[in-house]
Chain A
């Protein structure tokens, strides 16, 4: 699981061109990283592909922070 979080971290850091260490659970993707709604969708779709799970629109819409993404991925992994 930690490996997965690391992967998540580097994927997001790469996408928004920030240092991976800057990402904390409370980091707001929109406010702090400048993500738009489609960036969040792209991340969610990338995770779906990577994990082979399906994440519906309502779940994806709830994502605001890096921590939300981790929680979403964890819940999918546990399911």
Chain B
């Protein structure tokens, strides 16, 4: 039936860098502690209120379009996977569409938290397979530091901002897919206030209910299980063993999660692309940033078998197998 092919990749991160040492200056933590606990050394953080998720998403999209040698008006469908949109409405995708000068094609946001890019790829694969679209722009973009409680050392060290984009056209399609979610685990990782249940008001500002809270151990375990089992299931559907994959692009949440996933799957950690040391957890952006970096550095060759796997708030998880190029 066919489906997607990746025609171009791009990414963007803010200029401003906050190192572990800079965080240690205001929190009871240290560079050594953060590195040993998370693998993260530094992260990029949006500068000021004049820039937001859509600016990063637009910059990443321009880079991906340039690599694909396509103009914005070629795009038939524009999806932004994000959990930290510029506004509740309009969607960040519409802002990106306007910035790019794309045609008035369908544009919308998709929220599956850190699994959003993998969910978006699966939707795009279907849209290309059915002929609903010829070229799709899919961006994973988040500015999670806008929602970080900088007083909470257990989460403040984890996140960074960024965007990664892919331009997709028709091709072989995804070889294996596995998506899932479990809303019973909604409390594990959340931003409680700022939506229709607890609109932002003076009280929520005091309790910091508009900031990210996470049950670390529960999320850690669920992430290892979901990312390993998901990739295993997707690989099985593709008719191959995970150790055949040239690269695994796993959501860059924590080096220990990735180590756990590698051990569970019985594959070498060397097959896992790692950039969380430089960017931290960039939400839905982490996998497409990694793809763009690997591609630009020449580490992804046409024909390479690649696995993507992610897990995030919801809980959500998703994994896909594809052949690059």
Which A residues are in CB contact (< 8 Å) with B221?
Answer: 41, 44-45, 57, 60
Q: Is the interface of B mostly helix, strand, loop or mixed?
A: helix
- Give the docked Cα–Cα distance between A2 and B172 (Å): 54
How many pairs of A and B residues are in contact by the CB < 8 Å rule?
A: 26
Query: What's the minimum C-beta distance from B175 to chain A, rounded to whole angstroms?
Result: 28
Q: Count chain B residues whose beta carbon lies closer than 8 angstroms to a beta carbon of A.
A: 11
> Nearest residue in A to B215 (C-beta to C-beta)?
A57
Q: Is the CB of A42 within 8 A of B218?
A: no
A40 at the interface (CB under 8 A from B): yes
Q: Which of B216, B224, B254 contacts A37 (CB 8 A)?
A: B216
Which A residues are in CB contact (< 8 Å) with B260?
Answer: 42, 45
Which A residues are in CB contact (< 8 Å) with B224?
Answer: 45
Q: Count chain A residues whose beta carbon lies closer than 8 angstroms to a beta carbon of B.
A: 12
Which of chain A's residues 9-42 have a Cβ closer than 8 Å to chain B?
A: 36-38, 40-42
A7 at the interface (CB under 8 A from B): no
Per-residue A-contact encoding for B249-276, CB less than 8 Å = 1, 0 else: 0000010100010001000000000000
Query: What's the minimum C-beta distance from B258 to chain A, rounded to whole angstroms?
Result: 13
Per-residue B-contact encoding for A33-73, CB less than 8 Å = 1, 0 else: 00011101110110001000000010011000000000000
> Nearest residue in B to A38 (C-beta to C-beta)?
B220
Q: Which residues of B contact A (CB under 8 A)?
A: 37, 216-218, 220-221, 224, 254, 256, 260, 264
22 contacts between A and B (CB under 8 A): A36-B37, A37-B217, A38-B37, A38-B216, A38-B217, A38-B254, A40-B217, A41-B217, A41-B220, A42-B256, A42-B260, A44-B221, A45-B221, A45-B224, A45-B260, A49-B264, A57-B217, A57-B218, A57-B221, A60-B217, A60-B221, A61-B217
